[in-house]
Amino acid sequence: MAVLLLQDGRFFYGDIFGAEGETIGEVCFNTGMTGYQEILTDPSYCKQIVTMTSPHIGNYGVNSEDIESDKIQVAGFVIKEETEIPSNWRSRQSLGEYLKEQNIVGIQGIDTRALTRHIRDHGAMNGIISTINSDIESLKIKLTQAPKMAGLDLAKEVSCKNFYQYTQNNNYPYKIAAIDFGIKLNILRLLESNNCDVTVFPANVTSREIINFNPDGVFLSNGPGDPEAVKYGIKTVKELLGKKPIFGICLGHQILALALGAKTFKLKFGHRGINHPVKNLDTGKVEITSQNHGFVVDLDSLPANVNPTHVNLNDNTSAGIRCDEFRAFSVQYHPESSPGPHDSRYLFEQFIDMMKKN
């Protein structure tokens, strides 16, 4: 038996899924019907317990290719029911075996619809999954000691420690410095496919190090935690403004906005899924996007030299900005979108065009 306890006292009993033990994190939900392996390995989910709203998870198993980092990053995993016998020619093991292998605690057999509605009504909050202790009162005590997501700098926990060159072919025409706040592998793959020679730098890289490297463009990656807590990243980006073209995604978008003088705030339950509609304000077209974030840029706080370029149609929050003065732009969602959709891949070409002009 396993139990999931939320910070406000709501609890759910279910079955053990993955490893045995206890884990604490912010409980959130993802509406994707596929892509669970990419979700599990996305560094942006550091310190979060992810609930999948689709009732059957694991039907195509797990393989060695559909990963976004070198390990599972979520704090815990919550599903309605695992498909124990996956069916796919690429599958190498079941989802439950994958979680157990990497010592990730999960729970299944609970009413994920009720849990999702509770989070929508009351907001994302800390929770604890335990397979070794079913005493609610003692679990409550452990939960009170856990820090809340607001104010947490998690980029430093998932970032690389030293810089490294991702691309093996250094004959590509565009030299990119990618700052790793929790970068996903498919971002690196797409940059390379667009003829970029990519070197990845840790989150605490200084502007002097980037300038000495002399790239054609600077990429700001996705990542977990509160963007306002990444003060060193904001400082670096502020000092790079106007010196090199800049493209940011997700946390990178928020850090760019903060460096430009805007503000951010925490959403009630975040945007996490692969079917979020975003309107491109330049073209009027609607893109279906992949998203994973709990914080957003405050549209009302944008300085006069910063233009909104995209807006989330579910709640009219910021989904993209551009500052022509400093040759910088960013989006809140994930245009690299593995496994999909692919509506927003043009943004990588936009970055290339900006470097060409520069």
Length of the chain: 358
Extract the tokens encoding 228. Answer: 């306002």
Cβ burial 188-227 (10 Å sphere, 16+ → b, else e): bebbbebebbbbbbbbbbebeebeebebbbbbbbbbbbbb
Active site residue 196: no
Residue 250 designated active-site: yes
Q: Which token pair is 153?
A: 């700098």
3-state DSSP assignment of residue 112: helix
Q: Is 89 exposed, middle or buried (0-12, 13-18, 19+ CB in 10 A)?
A: exposed
Neighbours of 345 (CB within 10 A): 14
The active-site residue, picked from 46, 196, 250, 323, is 250
- Given a contact cutoff of 8 angstroms between Cβ atoms, the answer to whether 299 and 309 are in contact is no
CA dist 111 and 117 (Å) reads 10
Q: Please give the Cα distance from 335 to 249 (Å, whole number).
A: 8
Q: Could you give the C-alpha distances from 151 to 126, 264, 334, in angstroms and in order?
A: 14, 12, 23
Active site residues: 250, 334, 336
